Chains A and B, each alone.
Chain A
Amino acid sequence: MLTRMGMGRSRPAIGFDDRVFDQMFRLFGDLDRGFSPAWQTAAAMPRIDLVDAGAELKLFAELPGFSEEDVDITIERNRLTLRGQRKLEVPEGYRVRRSERGDLAFARSITLPCRVDADGVEATLEHGVLQLRLPKAPEEQPRQITIKKA
């Protein structure tokens, strides 16, 4: 039973002189880990979507448990960098039984498909998803061309 617990990323260091603890190991055993190809597990890198919405680009990044202060966004020319850090907060007086979410620190850079107006960028964080609205630079804006009558 003890070795099965090793399937989690960190193995809790605790004494096992207790029946209840013994049961706990059976409890959070491996039933839920029976079948998990790599694409099914959330990666340590946040998932990002980037959408071209015409006049602006939209970026979505999954950042569960991050607060506004934990995320740092920089734009330099058409290079966008997201940095974030989330600390594992163990509630006081509790033992860690499984730690998969853990501490998370990442930096991810993306080359945007066009220049954006960095001053006009808006960022919101809701339900653990960061949404960036990146208005395209004026020279990148789509233009309607009117055909002149002959």
Chain B
Amino acid sequence: MILRPRRDDHAIVGKYLGKIIVGIGLLMVVPLVTSLLFAEWDTALDFVIGIGACFIFGFGLQVICRTEKDLKWSHGLVVASGSWIAATVLGAIPHWLSGHEGSYLDAMFDIMSGYTTTGLYLIQDLDHISYGLNMWRHVLTYVGGQGIVVIALTFLVKGTAGAYKLYVGEGKDERLLPNVIGTARAIWLVSLMWLAIGTAALAVTGLMLGQEPVRALLHGLWVFMGAWSTGGFAPQSYNTMWFHSAAYEIICTVIFIAGSFNFALHWAVWQGDRRELRRNIEILSFTATAFITVSVATFGLAHLGIYPDAVNLFRKAFYQVLSGHTTTGFSTIYSRAFVTQWGPVAMLATTVAMAIGASACSTGGGIKGIRIGVLTKAYIQDVRRMISPDSAVVQERYHHIRDIVLEDRIVRTAFTITLAYVTAYAVLTVLGVLFGYDFTAAAFEGVSAASNTGLSCGITAPDMPNLLKWAYIIAMWMGRLEFMSVLALFGHFYAIVRGKS
């Protein structure tokens, strides 16, 4: 029986939604300060209006929704998925006011793409936007990588038992520490430590590559944010091709691969458990699939003979495919070059890499390494059962922080989510083909959106059909939250309409 939500339920959802949106408003202070520093007065006003709108919405909800009750599971899921929608609608205000977006839908597309660490963009004339707006694009992708809810948990929500449900709603389910607030802080500690080191490395490299100090620092910070959150935003329309440097590419690769690791893995290694880096199922799965997809792309490209020698071939194939595999979306080739230079083999290899994606509980998207690992183990177990005597007990284990015995329950969860991703990929591909795009291109772009990667082969542009923009926005949102909390939100609305009171 489905129960219609009562007043209390709405109040709890509203209260926490309000808190998270206030967090988004506070976040806009960073770009506001940036634009004030660079005397970009018009941009500063955009952010003042944005902050005001977030506060009116956030505090307003808290005024209306007064309750002392704690969150239940369904609330956590609804708040998590709902807050991403509200944060997108309100976060799009500065983008829209800047005048660089074709419509409010385009602005929301960019914001959702940022939060979900996708990296597709519709902002026009990126090369002439203000420092403040560029800061906002990258800050929201950095925060989106850690999770909007995680930031709220760190600063705004007092530690209650229900807080854990919010955290899970956002597609993260690892407890690094027994306490969920502690876990959120641990995630931030890892991210900020990397931020300091990564930004410094990129900024120094930028300086040596001939950038001015201020630009080198800002580019370093922004490229770090785009890489670590596996977001794929970059300050210039040329993306990371702007730098024309092997050193910069290697540093980016290190950062986005580290960003694609499970936070629980980071935490284990940081606690001194170095063997985890060799034994973890996600590392093994990632290494295997990365090796296969890079090899396929490399052979495909070698066959076409586009790149003159092995080093160039390696640089292009390794960077692009791994950027896809970690669901980052950085590229050192033009979007259209995927079609006009790379051709179907390398494109399909990249598409498969994007579909598999990063690790669970990371900043990345896609099906996730752990599910690929678990499903592979399940197949191995079945084959072993078939060739063993009937009386034998076949047990399969995998290592993720600790040794885990493979149970049907685990396989089932891995399978349902994997199937949801595959369905989303298929729907977007079919939709793209229906709109008249080439199959390979439609699959590439669709998988890129649903796996939160952000590599583009040229379909994503301001003049693409509106329906496709909507489809990509929804896919990015569902893919990032791993479907369950989005489905819970739909269930919530269903219950409002059809539930028994």
Same complex: no
